[in-house]
Amino acid sequence: MAILVPVSSWKSERLGFWRLNGPSWIVQLGRRDSTTASLTLANSDLPAPTLNLSNLITAFSNKGFSTQEMVALSGSHTIGQSNCRFFRARIYNDTNIDSTFATSLKTNCPSVGGDNNLSPLDETSPTTFDNAYFKNLQSQKGLLHSDQELFNGGSTDSQVNAYSTDSSSFATDFANAMVKMGNLGPLTGSSGQIRTNCRKIN
């Protein structure tokens, strides 16, 4: 059964409920899920944390996102954590990393073992949705190699600088890009299904 809720009434009734911190936006409901999954496709379409700036720009462009939208969306790494195996190469091999930051991460992410140990993507304020992620990049404290690529002397440095001083423009751009992402090729008609349990196919 499709759940189609008029956006206006949903907004007035529910939006405040979800506004914990950070930006908010209207989520389009009634999205259908695929009944199949492809590991190969996921791995080819999802950007890897080892990508350089050029490849990140291409990965997002392939989905219709501008470089500016890519930088805004990356700001979601203001919350959440990463497994050690995704940032090990960065903390042991990269040179564009704050040395104190790298040393502190090595305790929880040894060069061998501890693959699944977690560290926050934004060490400054790991559970608050703010623009500290961009300030961290300016201090070479991006956790993932891909994070630091956004501020490494390239074309996106200026936008990182802008978001680091203007959290409201980050919030606005992030919310708009999230709505756009939610509109990426939704399944329609009889394709896919509306799940009765979000975690599994019916």
State the minimum distance, in angstroms, from the CB of residue 122 to ligand HEM. 10
Stretch that binds ligand HEM, among 27-35, 72-80, 91-99, 193-201 (CB under 6 A): 72-80
How many angstroms separate the CA atoms of 76 and 61, rounded?
18
As measured in angstroms, the least distance from the Cβ of 177 to ligand HEM is 8
Show the 3-state SS of 62-91. CCCCCHHHHHHHHHHHHCCEEEHHHHHHHH
Q: Cα-flanking dihedrals φ and ψ of residue 119, to 5°?
A: -135, 150
The CB-nearest residue to ligand HEM is 80
Contact 140, 99 (CB under 8 A): no
Q: Which is nearer to ligand HEM, 182 or 191 (CB)?
A: 182
Q: How far apart are CA 78 and CA 81, in angstroms?
A: 9
Q: Is 107 a known ligand-binding residue?
A: no
> Of residues 24, 55, 76, 172, which one binds ligand HEM by CB under 6 A?
76
Residue 74 contacts ligand HEM per CB under 6 A: yes
Residues in touch with ligand HEM (CB under 6 A): 47-49, 51, 56, 73-74, 76-77, 79-83, 86, 144, 146
